[in-house]
Structure 1
Amino acid sequence: MRTRLSPSPQAGDGVIDVLVAGGGPAGLAVAVHAALAGMEAVVVEPRASPVDKACGEGVMPGGVAALKAMGVEVEGHGFRGIHYLDGRREVRAAFAAAPGLGVRRTHLHAALARRAAELGVKTVTGKITRVEQDRDGVEAAGLRARWLVAADGLHSPLRRSLGLDLPARGPRRYGQRRHYRIEPWTDFVEVHWSGTGEAYVTPVARDLIGVAILSSVRRGYDEHLRGFPGLTRRLSGPAVTPVRGAGPLRQAVRTRRAGRVLLVGDAAGYVDALTGEGVSLAVRSAELLVRCLAEDRPEDYDGAWLRLSRTHRLLTGALVQAARRPGTARLVVPAARRLPGLFTRIVRILA
């Protein structure tokens, strides 16, 4: 259900429980969880659903389970684990039980939007870039709410306006993604390593794969792709979507709460897409955020988010450090191959 903003909309007693800035997967997940908890949620989003953006499109098993628990049904292509390759060596690790899901970003967004609409979540067309708050609530875009959730993306305008940005240390990495009309040749997500970046191959349908490239080197997609000759030889099908990019990926955040405003998804801080946990972490942290609000303990959210994401942040940060120099990047696959038990354990922890 989508309407345009009016100057003085009314909702229930005139005050919305949860106002969500941003109708991407993280924002919609917050709205769904809020509705399931008996709270009134309104999403403010300037774009029509579904919205496409640069994304690896692999949802880890924990994220798949979280989506199912929300009642979100989405079609995709299952994958059994992670496969590292560097042109000479390779190593793979399967998940312990349930599979992950490769799913087009647009399909995931549409499925979350459908579920939100089923639960009565209202979506209005607009954009929130600033907020006024007092001890009882917030006002933004002509709406009054008890809480505002900033789910407005990697370069969150709300996060910046609240002074919550911190200088991001480490390499500035960027992502690019394109799809190819080709039958997946594997039921694993492949990660191809080179000295200048990584290429991620995710099966997203029976006749479609997504190929995402992450690197700190600024150059075009096709030029990057030439650095993975083994992968290039497999890409016999045509490219069927334009290249989409994002970055810099690393975003440091002072805290995920400022008064009655809370951050979720990429707006809450981001390390890198290297371990593919972005969607899973966004959906799970959305549930955590709503639980803190429903139990009237918003002050616990920041610490709970840090605990939830700790393993992801540590492992992803370590791999990014290894990837930042050609010499150490070339050691990742040999090291994983020499220690397959450790590699499998890491993959299953991230799953």
Structure 2
Amino acid sequence: MTGDADLLIAGGGPAGLATALYALRAGLQPMIVEPRSEGTDKACGEGLMPSAVRALDELGVSVPGQPISGIRYVQDGLRVAAEFRDGTGLGVRRTVLHTALHRAAVAAGVPIRRGRVTEVRSESAGVVVPELGLRGRWLVAADGLHSPVARGLGLVVDDRRAPRFGLRRHFAVAPGSSSVEVHHGPHGEAYLTPVGPELTGVALLTTRRAPFGTQLAAFPALAQRFTPELAVTAVRGAGPLRRRVRRRVADRVLLVGDAAGYVDAITGEGIALALSGAAALVDCLRRGRPQDYEAVWRRATRRHRLLTELLVAARTTPLTANRIVPAARRFPSVFAAVVNALA
């Protein structure tokens, strides 16, 4: 085995690629370990919050997309909207985002090794990935919602609450507005994200297990607008969405992105959290304080986790499920404050 990098990064998605770019800026030598030769599409809402857009700009990563001005909630003819106060969001195809980050990492000289990390051994001076013959000072698990590294280390906590799932498909339909529209239905939510002048992403979050068409039929107006013949991509799914882990630091292994824990996609902050988490993780390593990452992560995500838990609880409780949009209309300033707190 050889000492290949300061930072071995398991996973070449947005979280892993961003971690590598931040590591280079911090004077660390990263290596990404990724089983796929090309980035694959994933079920993703594809709406970048303004904070994520700023983080990409600071990394020097240019991503083409459709401007997003805010969030709009819709239910039974009721509508309430909130504009972003601090910048503009961006609707970006997941494949486009991945390509932009991948190109930036390659241009910066980040080595990308084909392979899958399933076993990690911590030693006094570093980590070993025995199946690939790799050795480094630290390993970052950026391997997604169902992280093999986190599960292999016994960090995953089983959650017995009703699972939520996500389905996403794209349609050759012009966006109805510059906002992400969140339609509240009887079994979940439908998210309409503008990702192009003539392209809309439709993501469904629900506790029901049923095909995309069946789920969309619960939103009659949307089913009439987004008909199967207008679909331009296949249906992709993800879930269960909730992922709990005991901690984000285990000896010389640190978790980032979805692998670090995930509540739900209801707030659309996944990419923003992945980017901010990557920056925080690398900063802790740069300062020689990796043990601080757990507390830093908890502080940085506390507001997001609390608001997301409250929204999911409200949506999955029969007593409150149909009262979110009416309440937001009655208290628009509170709704705007929540949207911008998350943005």
Q: Distance in 2 between matches of 1:267 and 1:317?
A: 18
The corresponding residue for 1:272 is 264
- Check the 8 A contact 1:251/1:269 in 2, yes or no: yes
| SS, match of residue 209 in structure 1 | strand
Residue 212 (structure 1) aligned with residue 218 (structure 2): no
Residue 306 (structure 1) aligned with residue 295 (structure 2): no
The corresponding residue for 1:117 is 106
Alignment coverage as a number of residue pairs = 340
Deviation larger for 53-62 or 227-236: 227-236
Q: CA deviation at 1:16?
A: 1.0
Q: Aligned match of 1:332 in 308, 320, 324?
A: 324
Q: Distance in 2 between matches of 1:105 and 1:300?
A: 31
Q: Distance in 1 between matches of 2:198 and 2:176?
A: 10
- Check the 8 A contact 1:81/1:93 in 2, yes or no: yes
Q: CA deviation at 1:83?
A: 0.2
After superposition, the C-alpha distances for 1:248-306 in whole angstroms (9 at most, x for unaligned) are 00011100010000000000000000000000000110010000001100000011001
Q: Distance in 2 between matches of 1:48 and 1:309?
A: 32
- Check the 8 A contact 2:157/2:246 in 1, yes or no: yes
Q: Distance in 2 between matches of 1:68 and 1:144?
A: 32
After superposition, the C-alpha distances for 1:163-202 in whole angstroms (9 at most, x for unaligned) are 1111224320000000001111200000000121000000
The amino acid across from 1:197 in the alignment is G
Q: Distance in 2 between matches of 1:115 and 1:96?
A: 29
The corresponding residue for 2:56 is 67
The amino acid across from 1:262 in the alignment is L
| SS, match of residue 160 in structure 1 | helix
Question: What pairs with 1:98-117 in structure 2 (closer than 5 Å)?
Answer: 98-117=87-106
After superposition, the C-alpha distances for 1:222-241 in whole angstroms (9 at most, x for unaligned) are 00101111222332671000
Q: CA deviation at 1:218?
A: 0.9
Question: When the two structures are superposed, what TM-score results if normalisation uses the length of structure 1?
Answer: 0.95
Q: CA deviation at 1:33?
A: 0.5
The corresponding residue for 2:150 is 159
- Check the 8 A contact 1:196/1:325 in 2, yes or no: no
Gaps spanning 5+ residues in structure 1: where? 1-7
Question: What pairs with 1:37-56 in structure 2 (closer than 5 Å)?
Answer: 37-56=26-45
The corresponding residue for 2:234 is 242
Deviation larger for 125-134 or 46-55: 46-55
Question: What pairs with 1:186-265 in structure 2 (closer than 5 Å)?
Answer: 186-235=177-226, 238-265=230-257
The corresponding residue for 1:3 is none
Residue 142 (structure 1) aligned with residue 111 (structure 2): no
- Check the 8 A contact 1:50/1:107 in 2, yes or no: no
Question: What pairs with 1:80-99 in structure 2 (closer than 5 Å)?
Answer: 80-99=69-88
Q: Distance in 1 between matches of 2:32 and 2:24?
A: 12
- Check the 8 A contact 1:60/1:100 in 2, yes or no: yes
Q: Distance in 1 between matches of 2:280 and 2:308?
A: 21
Q: Distance in 1 between matches of 2:109 and 2:135?
A: 18
| SS, match of residue 178 in structure 1 | strand
The amino acid across from 2:86 in the alignment is A
The corresponding residue for 1:22 is 11
Q: CA deviation at 1:217?
A: 1.0
Q: Distance in 2 between matches of 1:15 and 1:59?
A: 33
| SS, match of residue 91 in structure 1 | strand
Q: Aligned match of 2:342 in 321, 327, 350?
A: 350
Gaps spanning 5+ residues in structure 2: where? none
Q: Give percent identity, aligned residues only.
A: 53
Residue 282 (structure 1) aligned with residue 271 (structure 2): no
Q: Distance in 2 between matches of 1:191 and 1:326?
A: 18
The corresponding residue for 1:181 is 172
- Check the 8 A contact 2:248/2:255 in 1, yes or no: yes
RMSD after superposition: 1.1
The amino acid across from 1:157 in the alignment is P
| SS, match of residue 191 in structure 2 | strand
- Check the 8 A contact 1:84/1:91 in 2, yes or no: yes
